[in-house]
A and B are shown apart, each in its own frame.
Chain A
Amino acid sequence: MVKKLQGETFLLSANELRSGKVVFFTSKGWSSSTDEAIKIKFDEINKYEEISIREEKKCIIVSPKFVELDDSGNIKNLRDKIRNSGITIKI
């Protein structure tokens, strides 16, 4: 999960195991909002990777990943933006 990371700041994200819902790691646990998500510095990555492994083992989440933030603290990549804010089309 960590090997290919570039950038300086990240959010820890995953899908909830039972629902599949996209979630972000906060100081109070997992949340579907990025508002309170912990901003993780590159040198803290290993610590949060361990947390994600632990949370996966507890069957809370699946498919954890780090989401890169830009200089303004917003999600950088389009895929991650869509993943956070939902589909961009009307049904």
Chain B
Amino acid sequence: MYKYSDTDKKIIASRVKQFENQVNRRLEGKLTEEEFKPLRLMNGLYLQLHAYMLRVAIPYGELSSKQLRKIAFIADKYDRGYGHFTTRQNIQFNWPKLLDIPEILHELSLVDMHAIQTSGNCIRNISSDHLAGLTLNEIEDPRPWCEIIRKWSTFHPEFSFLPRKFKIAVIGCTKDRAAMMVHDIGLRIIKRKNQVGFEIFVGGGQGRTPIIGKKIRDFLPKKDILNYLEAILTTYNQEGRRDNIYKARIKILVKELGIEKFRSLVEENFSKLSNKELEIDDKSIKEIFGFFRLPPLKPNTNQMPFKKNQEYQYWINQNVIPHKIQGYSIVQISLKAPKKPPGDATSNQMRALAEISDKFSFSEIRVTHEQNLVLPHVSNKELFNLWNQLKIQNLATPNLGLITDTICCPGMDYCALATARSIPISQKISSHFNNYLKQEEIGNLKIKISGCINACGHHHVGNIGILGLDRKGQEFYQITLGGSAKEDAAIGEIVGPSFSKNDLIDAIEKILNTYKKHKINKSDDFLSVFRRIGIKEFKKDLYDNFTKKA
């Protein structure tokens, strides 16, 4: 894991002081809300439906057990004993008091954490593959590059007031587990003629205008990455619209100019950049990579232990995958237990998990963009012990990648922008399909739920996407089919008129029946069937005999 330097620590500490001063000025009336709002947003502080909400950065989703303990401490002392892991691999507290925020930020700084740039029109937390550095098919670990970009983008004076927020994801292999193609900039590490560099995508995004990113560069040498990012951001900063918040994201600029024109502007800026300071030399790259070495894992022939325990075997089948070092496994912890809000963890669970990670996974925990957690380095021989301990904490739900492993935004239960609730929908789905064999029979299926068009629940890229709408004061849910956030990224198609929350489960069942009818074999998953037969078949089966439509 990256370790903060003295400079990093000083920066964070001075930011805490600065924000403390801003909060005091606000409480004394020296700053109006209008003046304070952009300042609090730059420190991840929102005012939501019921209370303030603080979003804490977890850079590229990597946490230590010490940091997780601190998060648990904050949840207990300043909040209501739980936190919510987000689709940017961050964590949110839903109930802090403004008065306490400086103290919370100070506590976070003690474990090298902060809330800087988790909101506002700036470069947000860099996200990445939660399996970075753990799999054999990776070209290179993307986390050091995330860290390099984090350093460059933090408090970047030119990019602190962009037309709109800006999201970057970096992945290190052909498998996309970070929804890279729906980011403002997506970077994929590739190898060409024995040289490692970046393939670069730009202008992806979700929200009210969902777009898959367009390739802007086939290959960029590693040393040039910051100069190229600077060129893209400069172009966006100069050309991006500021007159209309809904047209201000880079995806709109790329769409309006066309990728060819946008590319030529970026290349022009890139060629003009003589900022040699931003070129990264091999020594600096090596230094950063040094922070991300694997712990001392000794290859061995230990197998995953077999037990005559069905629940354990389900968990092994669904949540555990092999580590690149023989004899070790990657354990994925579902935060989608039945009837629980997706992505939420209680302070007790966090503390237990910190303990478990100390014991079984070198004190390392990762957060996935699908709102789950990962223990990255677990010895095979410890898997049964680990499962027993996770089970005590209700953290052993065997549903990774299955229908109840939903992504879900906080929705109208918390969010001031939401037009409908999303968590109760997720809970209905998890209750209805709460049977491992039933889920396994359905196979890989991503349901993603957003409570409004801003798409924080990534519904556009759900195999089944659910969007909550307000229809004359009633909650209705629009369904999209065929979306994907993976390397075969696609935006889902709207299947037809929306459903009331009482009809939604029936609608999902009908969609699954159509899928099952056309499924050829076990490996023929929902997305494959959808792509083969198209939306018409689903639409026909779904709307025949359905009366309650909006």
Contact = CB atoms under 8 A, between A and B. Distances in A.
Interface of A: 15, 17-22, 56-59, 62-63, 76-79, 82-83, 86-91
Interface in B4-36: 26-29, 33
Interface string B472-486: 010100000000000
A17 B51 contact: no
A87 B29 contact: no
B346 interface: yes
B75 to A, nearest CB: 11
Interface string B47-81: 10111100000000000000000000000000010
B344 interface: yes
Interface of B: 26-29, 33, 47, 49-52, 80, 82, 95-99, 339-341, 344, 346, 412-414, 418, 421, 423-424, 427, 470, 473, 475
Contacts of A87: 50, 413-414
Nearest to B346: A91
B49 A20 contact: no
Nearest to B410: A87
A18 B27 CA distance: 7
A71 B291 CA distance: 64
A19 B341 contact: no
Given A90-B339, A91-B341, A59 B28 contact: yes
Name which of B339, B344, B412 has the most chain A CB atoms within 10 A of its CB: B412
Nearest to A59: B29
A17 B97 CA distance: 9
A64 B414 CA distance: 18
B97 A18 contact: yes
Nearest to B96: A20
A88 B424 contact: yes
Contacts of B28: 59
A19 B27 contact: no
Given A59-B29, A91-B341, A20 B413 contact: no
Contacts of A58: 29
A88 to B, nearest CB: 6
B29 A57 contact: yes
Contacts of B82: 91
A90 to B, nearest CB: 7
Given A91-B82, A91-B346, A19 B413 contact: no
Given A57-B29, A77-B473, A20 B47 contact: yes
